[in-house]
Structure 1
Amino acid sequence: MFRHSPARRGLLALALASACGAAVADKSAAPATPGWPARPLRIIVGFPPGSSPDLTARTFSEPLAQALGQPVIVENKVGAGGNIGADAVAKAQDDHTIGLFINGNLTIAKLLNPQVPYDPARDLAPLSLIGVSPLVLAAPVNQPGVPAGADARAFLQAARQAGDRWSYGTPGVGTVGHLGTELLKARTGIAPVHIPYPGYPQVATAMLGGQLQMALLPPALAQAQERAGKLRLIGVTSAGRSALVPHVPSLSEAGVRDFQLEIWNAFAAPASMPAPVRARLSALIGETARSPEVRAKLFQQGWQAVGSSAEGLANRMRADTATMSRVIREQGIRAE
């Protein structure tokens, strides 16, 4: 009979122990949830079909369905800037409902309006930060008072000289574009007047018509207008350059200090969902977001994929809530 030497037996024992340890680690990363899911998983989106949050949710529905062995249904509950959908997730008690959120629902909504019926910190449990994107400071190409080819420093200097004779547009009071521009005003000494519009396309149209002198726009919209020769892109709001707009410098490169702003989306669950179920969903969603196929789809939708842990999302929520709370307080912003 074949016999291993003592040294060989020791190596086999070590290998077996390592394999068992890896199995335990895998099990802790995605804990067993006996009997769950017992029916389809529902993803609530607070925005209409075809919107950016809706597209992201549907990008995840098929991979999650394959992993869970149950259908995954996207349900749109539209209204109040996504807060109706967020409240529906917060109140869900079926252990089979999660939500796809934009950062405003998880950080700004309750700060700006205490009457919002849910509390993100109390009623929602973070699952995973999915994608991030900067906004792009954009302006009309032929803008009076701004030299042709002006870089970010020259543009901001022109904005300071213009004072409140300039205006900027956003999709509404309390949006990331609004609070972000107010933060930029505080950091740079510029003073353009806020004019809210129904959405970003209307903001871009107003800039092309000369009603606005600047705005923070999503990269895809900003680049489309740049390619058409109608808008110039001044700088991105992320800490460094973004792969989504690689040719545009960050505003920090222009000397804007203590300024970093991103829009993002994330999955969260009702706080009442059992912890093992949340842990399994967090692991599956994060892994899905980091897969090459989904990363590519998110990039096409205008997102740099993250796929964080639940703790990573919780940390981001706390940090952004603190930043936005300070902007709202210092700039005296109130819901309309």
Structure 2
Amino acid sequence: MSISRRNLLLAAAAAPLFSHAQPNTWPTRPVHLMVGFPGGSTPDIAARVLAEPLARALGQPVVVDNKPGASGNIAADFVAKATDDHTLGIVINGNLTSSKLLYPSLPYDPERDFTPLSLLVTAPLVLVALPNAPSGAAFFDAARAAGDKWNYGSVGVGSVGHLGMELLKTRVRGLAPVHVPFQGNPQVVTAMLGGQVQMALVPPGVAMPQVRAGKLKAIGLTSGRSPLVPEVAPLANAGVRDFDLEVWAALLGPAGLSKAAQERIGHELGPIMKSAEVRQKLFEQGWQAVGTSPDGMRARVKKEAAIMASIINAKGIKLE
């Protein structure tokens, strides 16, 4: 074989390897993480824990921008309309699973206007009651007997705590507490401590300090056993069947996010979510780090959106 022909063959064989080894040119400037809630909220905590290690991995600053309002929909819409390839968002369940049904004039489409990147953190909800309430299945016997004389609190119409309780009503025959919305979980807890509401579904970080102080009682978790609250049993142990609900936050970009950005984020985010430092920081805030593929996130959203749609449509819940 001639030298020139051999060189051509070697070059052809090396080309795919050389192409694959080319550095990813994204990002070329600071990356902005849009958060639709104020500082200290679940998505804000996740964003700020991730910002530093993600910035180190990407070689560019990662800036957390809070745009609170409309249950996170203002920031979500900002991400949906972003065209600069350097704007991402951290959203909660409702932005992707229930907002489209709750807000008839929602300015974005959760299915078409985003590029799913990864689920980030999850946590079960804790069903809490007054400290003198019975435990386990006996609690639901008492709740059924009380009918609509009992109230339950949530952080507002369409929230996970609201829709979750309405879902629980469909799983526990005869359960009929009346919904009382509040501005936030601290107000829900205050109302419970004052005896204005008898039950609520709240995150572990809100519930467990009150439970451990003996001021509230944990009836059960809305998921299976969780390392976040190992001392609390699932509601399934109290006879509740076909009920699995968590709160979560996820990372996404606009629908037109470049392949270069998607690939780089996918490459860097996995190790970050598995790191002991990040997992411990999130755990201390009441959240379990998960990390998923884009397809895993899509599957989660699709499954939960169907469940939320069944409740919203059956109850005729709307926010506008």
Give me the TM-score of the superposition, normalised by structure 2: 0.91
Distance (whole Å) between structure 1 residues aligned to residue 237 and residue 269 of structure 2: 34
The answer on whether the counterparts of 2:80 and 2:108 sit within 8 Å (CA) in structure 1 is yes
For the pair 1:237 / 2:227, whether they are aligned, the reply is no
Amino acid at match of 1:217: V
1:271 corresponds in structure 2 to: 255
1:179 corresponds in structure 2 to: 163
1:200 corresponds in structure 2 to: 185
Distance (whole Å) between structure 2 residues aligned to residue 167 and residue 43 of structure 1: 38
2:4 corresponds in structure 1 to: none
DSSP 3-state at the match of 1:249 = coil
Quick one: which of 293, 296, 302 aligns to 1:318?
A: 302
For the pair 1:70 / 2:60, whether they are aligned, the reply is yes
Distance (whole Å) between structure 2 residues aligned to residue 60 and residue 255 of structure 1: 38
DSSP 3-state at the match of 1:120 = coil
2:7 corresponds in structure 1 to: none
The answer on whether the counterparts of 2:91 and 2:250 sit within 8 Å (CA) in structure 1 is yes
Quick one: which of 129, 143, 147 aligns to 1:159?
A: 143
Q: Deviations over 1:198-240 (max 9, x none)?
A: 01110010010010010001111111111221100000000x1
1:280 corresponds in structure 2 to: 264
Q: Deviations over 1:61-110 (max 9, x none)?
A: 11111111111111111111111000001110000110111111121111
Distance (whole Å) between structure 2 residues aligned to residue 161 and residue 152 of structure 1: 15
1:222 corresponds in structure 2 to: 207
Distance (whole Å) between structure 2 residues aligned to residue 283 and residue 325 of structure 1: 34
1:39 corresponds in structure 2 to: 29
Displacement of 1:34 after TM fit? 4.0
Change (3 A) 1:33 1:327: farther
Displacement of 1:305 after TM fit? 1.1
2:6 corresponds in structure 1 to: none
Distance (whole Å) between structure 2 residues aligned to residue 33 and residue 46 of structure 1: 33
1:4 corresponds in structure 2 to: none
Displacement of 1:52 after TM fit? 2.4
For the pair 1:332 / 2:316, whether they are aligned, the reply is yes
Trace 1:115-130 onto structure 2 (pairs within 5 A). Answer: 115-130=105-120
2:100 corresponds in structure 1 to: 110
Quick one: which of 128, 131, 138 aligns to 2:121?
A: 131
The answer on whether the counterparts of 2:101 and 2:318 sit within 8 Å (CA) in structure 1 is no
For the pair 1:141 / 2:131, whether they are aligned, the reply is yes
DSSP 3-state at the match of 1:121 = coil
Distance (whole Å) between structure 1 residues aligned to residue 263 and residue 27 of structure 2: 13
Distance (whole Å) between structure 2 residues aligned to residue 249 and residue 228 of structure 1: 18
Dislocated runs of 4+, deviation >3 Å:
31-34
Distance (whole Å) between structure 2 residues aligned to residue 120 and residue 63 of structure 1: 28
Structure 1 range deviating more: 89-98 or 45-54: 45-54
Quick one: which of 94, 100, 104 aligns to 2:90?
A: 100
The answer on whether the counterparts of 1:128 and 1:286 sit within 8 Å (CA) in structure 2 is no
Displacement of 1:276 after TM fit? 3.0
Q: Deviations over 1:279-320 (max 9, x none)?
A: 321332232112111111111111111111111111111111
Q: Which runs of 5+ in 1 are unaligned?
A: 1-19
Quick one: which of 140, 147, 153 aligns to 1:169?
A: 153
Matched length: 303
DSSP 3-state at the match of 2:257 = coil
Displacement of 1:47 after TM fit? 0.9
Amino acid at match of 2:253: A
DSSP 3-state at the match of 2:25 = coil
Displacement of 1:277 after TM fit? 1.5
DSSP 3-state at the match of 2:98 = helix
Quick one: which of 43, 46, 49 aligns to 1:53?
A: 43
Q: Which runs of 5+ in 2 are unaligned?
A: 1-13
DSSP 3-state at the match of 1:94 = coil
Amino acid at match of 1:289: M
Amino acid at match of 1:281: I
The answer on whether the counterparts of 1:33 and 1:277 sit within 8 Å (CA) in structure 2 is no
